[in-house]
């Protein structure tokens, strides 16, 4: 598994920590991995060409990208 360093707003980290504290996830890393899996599953919704996915992605609002 690769190690990745990223910067996340404090409020989002606090929300992730709350999910860990309440037992929804075992740790922050697993919570973030889960979010990435969901994002990738949403992105890979069909046999479209990558350029078509990019066009669709620009048109659709993504709740996971909100800060």
Contact 60, 44 (CB under 8 A): no
**pLDDT value of residue 3:** 94
Write the DSSP string, 4-22: ------HHHHHHHHHHHHT
Highest mean pLDDT (candidates 18-22, 48-52, 55-59) = 18-22
pTM to 2 decimal places:
0.64
**pLDDT value of residue 61:** 58
- Domain extents in the chain: 10-61
pLDDT single digits (tens) 6-47: 999 999 999 999 999 999 999 999 999 999 999 999 888 766
Higher-pLDDT residue of 20, 54: 20
User: Would the pLDDT of 64 be above 80?
Assistant: no
């Amino acid at each position: 598994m690769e190690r990745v360093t990223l910067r996340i707003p404090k409020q989002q980290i606090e929300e992730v920590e709350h999910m860990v504290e309440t037992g929804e996830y075992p740790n922050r890393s697993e919570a973030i991995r889960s979010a990435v899996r969901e994002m990738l599953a949403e992105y890979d919704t069909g046999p479209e060409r990558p350029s078509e996915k990019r066009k669709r992605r620009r048109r659709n609002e993504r709740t996971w990208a909100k800060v």
